[in-house]
Amino acid sequence: MEGISISEFGSILMMQGFNGLSVFSVLLLMALGLAIIFGQMGVINMAHGEFLTIGAYTTFVFSYLTQTYFPSLMSTYFLFAIVGAFIFAGLVGLLVEWLLIRHLYKRPLDSLLATWGLSLIMQQIFRSTFGAKEVSATLPDWLMGSWQPTDTIDIPLNGLFVMGLTIVLTCLVGLFMYRSRLGLKMRATTQNRVMAGAVGINTAMVDRMTFVLGCGIAGVAGAAFTTIGSTGPTSGSLYIVDAFLTVVFGGAQSLLGTLASAFTIAQTNSTLEFFMTGSMAKVITLLSIIAILMMRPEGLFSIKVRK
Amino acid sequence: MIGEIQRFTRAKGKSLAVGALALLAAAQALASNPPTSQVNTTGLRVTDTEVYVGQLHSATGTMAISETGSIQAEQLAIEQINASGGVLGRQIKIIQEDGASDWPTFAEKAKKLLVNDRVAAVFGCWTSASRKAVLPIFEKENGLLYYPTFYEGLEQSKNVIYTGQEATQQIIAGLDWIAKEKGAKTFYLVGSDYIWPRTSNKIARKHIENVLKGTVVGEEYYPLGHTQFGSLINKIKLKKPDVIYSIVVGGSNVAWWKQLKAAGITADKQTILTISVTEDEVLGIGGENVEGFYSAMKYFQSLDNENNKKFVAAFKAKYGPNAVIGDVTQAAYLGPWLWKAAVEKAGSFDVDKVVAASPGIELTTAPEGYVKIHPNHHLWSKTRIGVWQRNGQAKVIFESDLIEPDPFPKGYQ
């Protein structure tokens, strides 16, 4: 480790700390939509990754259109793309719920297979529409490069952006679930579907809204991930394992659990990666999660649910 | 029943006319072409006017990203060969099969092409895994495969012609250049965790330590599909290597380059040499994220020679003005041409005779310049260093001499 001064070492430790937080935001963002759908409805949505991909392609299309027709708006188009991704992914979610998911609420294992098939179909649709090769949305300059508070510290701007977006989105979802009328209905339906129906809640409508919300959030995540990852027909599937891991480890029905689990996994993985090879770090992280899940099958946080 | 008979007669009448025409064409062809009984003694699917070949790539699934370019280039080459009179006077017909990014499917389709379709040659495969899956079938059924991808070497088969570079060709020339040009002494090796990057880095390490007398300060592998490289980037910053040597592939590739840029690692501060980025990958990564970094390849779309200008123009005319051509796409384009040259030299479609005629075959019309088949079934080729530009194209700044292929390099294993 020759040629490294104490202050440089300090900078690297700081950047490494930021990296942990950045991975945490990414994990939370990719898991949030899944947590809502899986946690609130019990539907295992294997096509979650493809809803991320919808968000990513929406960003690409926005970028392409802006560049072609309104080049002067290049610095701000990304914000519109995020909103567009939410709306578009949500609409596709609405269609999917109506055509497929609502027929499978009582058959969770079948929904697993059906959504997996759906993910394959969606991948091929992306491939036929946008071509098999990856595409790249042109990012505005303020999202590229790094912020340098000192000479030796580089804080990635895209990491900061994803972090900010995750905080805003998590707060919005939290407010929605615990402060709004529809959120109350969702939680009521999760806790006791029959009773919720009996007091006049339209549970079918609540299910639909929940699914749409989850898909919309996945779309936003996909849009944000264009800043750190690839946009291609199978890009979304890169995130699916980690997303499920985060949700299951956190305890499926708890938003707080998802938060805690994303934080734990991110910090563990990021720290281990610093001291050993990437593949080894992954192995140890996964083994620890399995061990903990064997002791606590319900995940880190679980709320009592009437079955 | 009567209707059917009428339909039958009418159809027969029509087919008679067609048949007569075909006979006429065949008679004309026969006048100049060697008879089928002479050029095909092993029961391949060859007629007096046609010869069937197979194409076996992934048109669907994760590998479609990479293999689409190869499919297009092979079809372009075959179209051009047909337009110029075909092979031994016979038009080439393609039977295309989809390996679907799944190795057992590759094996099954290879068997179908060789046993049921009796094709004279197959242009196909991309990953080493798919090639390994079909290899025993090609050897057992005595088929002939033209394989386009640059790969880790350590293989040589009578039934395969490797039109991409094996590892030492691509790696050693690149490392020599960067050591000389940049005075590089310390290297950090990074790769995706599977056979090609690991074997390639093994060769790179031996060369750096034994020949260049440099040091490898780190060697790291990340799972395929890994998307978070923050920790690795910090580790690299801690070691301050002269050169980062990168063999990250697939979905990880984009994340890796975007995150390097975001961590302030740009070309003015850090030298990076990669053997896993071609024009195809840059489409997904974005030129602004690899600007100023180096790739070692045998082919770049921007190569300035007459063959390549013609090839790029023909490719764009067929597949659209925005089509890009990477190293493997060009190597795939060579396959049908090399096969045609070998068949004509052998005067036969029989696999054994084509294989025997292959060593020494030269192609002076190759977009990459000049190639020649070595007795070990790989190609003599040059290695180039390209520096990436914002528009997604590379500027070629170095060109090696013709390098002999050496799939089993002594001292590198």
Nearest CA in chain A to B193: A279
Residue matched to tokens 């016979």: B90
Give the separation between CA B322 and CA A187, rounded to whole angstroms: 50
Mutation target for B interface from A59, A122, A273, A275: give the one with most B CBs within 10 A: A273
Show residues of chain A in contact with B329, CB under 8 Å: none
Nearest to A127 among B64, B240, B254 (CB): B64
Q: Which of residues 153-182 of B touch A (CB under 8 A)?
A: none
pLDDT in tens, B119-138: 999 999 999 989 999 999 99
Question: Average pLDDT for residues B135-149, to the nearest whole number?
Answer: 97
> Cβ contact (<8 Å) for A145 and B231?
no
Average pLDDT, rounded, for chain A: 90
Claim to verify: residue B273 and residue B395 sit in the same structural domain: yes
Task: Compute the distance between CA of residue B126 and CA of residue B328 in angstroms, rounded to an integer.
Answer: 9
Q: For residue B10, tell me if it sits in a domain.
A: no
Q: Is position B113 within any domain?
A: yes
Note the pLDDT tens digit of each residue in B221-230: 998 888 899 9
- Domain assignment present for B126: yes
B131 within domain boundaries: yes
Total number of domains in chain B: 2
Answer whether residue B115 shows pLDDT above 90. yes
Confidence of residue B1 (pLDDT cuts 50, 70, 90): very low
Note whether A279 contacts B259, CB cutoff 8 Å.
no
Beta bridge partners of B187: B216, B243
Check whether B11 has a pLDDT greater than 70: no
Average pLDDT over residues A204-210: 92
Residue A225: its pLDDT value, please? 93
- Measured in whole angstroms, how far is the alpha carbon of residue A76 from the centre of its chain? 23
Beta strands in B195-330 (DSSP E): 215-222, 243-247, 271-274, 294-297
CA distance B96 to chain A (A): 17
Q: Say yes or no: B391 and B366 in one domain.
A: no
Q: Kindly report, residue by residue over B63-83, the tens digit of the pLDDT.
A: 887 899 999 999 999 999 999
Question: Over the stretch A141-186, which tens digit does the pLDDT of each residue have?
Answer: 888 888 988 888 889 999 999 999 999 999 999 999 999 999 999 9
| A113 in Cβ contact with A42 (< 8 Å) | no
DSSP one-letter code for B45 = S
Q: Is B54 exposed, middle or buried (0-12, 13-18, 19+ CB in 10 A)?
A: buried
Q: Are B361 and B337 contained in the same domain? A: yes
The per-residue pLDDT for A278 is 84
**Coil vs helix vs strand at B247:** strand
Does the structure show a pLDDT above 60 at A119? yes
In B, residues 11-50, which contact A (CB 8 Å cutoff)?
none
Supply the DSSP string of B359-402, one letter for each residue: TT-EEEEETTEEEEE-TTS-EEB--EEEEE-TTS-EEEEEE---
3-state secondary structure B70-128: HHHHHHHHHHHHHHCCCECCEEEEEEEEECCCCHHHHHHHHHHHHHHCCCCCEEECCCH
Mean pLDDT over the full length of chain B: 91
**Residues A59/A137, Cβ–Cβ less than 8 Å:** yes
pLDDT digits (tens, 9 = 90+) for A25-52: 999 999 999 998 988 888 889 999 999 9
Same domain, B253 and B138: no
Whether A124 contacts chain B with CB within 8 A: yes
Q: What whole-number percentage of chain B has pLDDT above 70? A: 92
pLDDT of residue A74: 87
Give the mutation candidate from A155, A228, A240, A245 for the B interface (greatest B CB count, under 10 A). A228
Q: Are residues B72 and B124 in the same domain?
A: yes
Q: Are residues B61 and B201 in the same domain?
A: no
pLDDT score for B20: 53
> Does the pLDDT value for residue B324 go beyond 50?
yes
**Predicted local distance difference test score (pLDDT) of residue A237:** 86
Residues of chain B positioned with their CB less than 8 A from the CB of A124: 60
B117 and B180 assigned to the same domain: no
Which range among A36-40, A84-88, A112-116, B210-214 shows the weakest confidence by mean pLDDT? Answer: A36-40
Examine the domain organization and report whether B215 and B256 are in the same domain.
yes
Token pair listed for A46: 């294997």
Q: Bigger pLDDT: B37 or B187?
A: B187
Domain annotation covers residue B4: no
Q: Are residues B153 and B176 in the same domain?
A: no
CATH of the domain at B173: 3.40.50.2300
A231 vs B: CB within 8 A: yes
> What average pLDDT score do residues B16-32 get?
52
Angstroms from B97 CA to nearest CA on chain A: 17
B322 contacts in chain A (CB < 8 Å): none
Residue of B nearest to A131 (CA): B65
**Mutation site for B-interface testing, chosen from A6, A57, A134 by largest number of B Cβ within 10 Å:** A134
CB-CB under 8 Å, B231 with A274: yes
Across A281-295, B14-28, B336-350, which has the greatest mean pLDDT?
A: B336-350
Q: Which domain holds residue B257?
A: 168-297+385-399
CB atoms within 10 A of CB B325: 26
Q: Please report, for residues A54, B48, B112, B128, B340, the alpha-carbon distance to residue B118 in angstroms, rounded to integers and kept in the order given.
A: 43, 16, 8, 24, 17
Sheet-wide strand order for B362-366: B362-366, B369-373, B379-380
Do residues B310 and B292 both lie within one domain?
no
3-class DSSP assignment, residue B15? helix
Q: Are residues B250 and B374 in the same domain?
A: no
- Say whether both B357 and B211 belong to one domain: no
State the count of interchain CB pairs (< 8 A) between A and B: 141
Gap between the Cα atoms of A147 and A99, Å rounded = 46
The verdict on residue B227 lying in a domain is yes
Tell which wins on pLDDT, A298 or B72: B72
Question: Would you tell me which residues 266-295 of chain B have a C-beta closer than 8 angstroms to some C-beta of chain A?
Answer: 266, 280-281, 283-286, 288
Which pLDDT value is given to residue B25? Answer: 52
Asked if the structure places residue B372 within a domain, the reply is yes
* Percentage of chain B modeled with pLDDT above 90: 83
Asked if A273 lies within 8 A of B225 by C-beta distance, the reply is no
Instruction: Give the residue with greater pLDDT, B15 vs A33.
Output: A33
Q: Which among B59, B220, B284 is the nearest to A277, CB-wise? A: B220
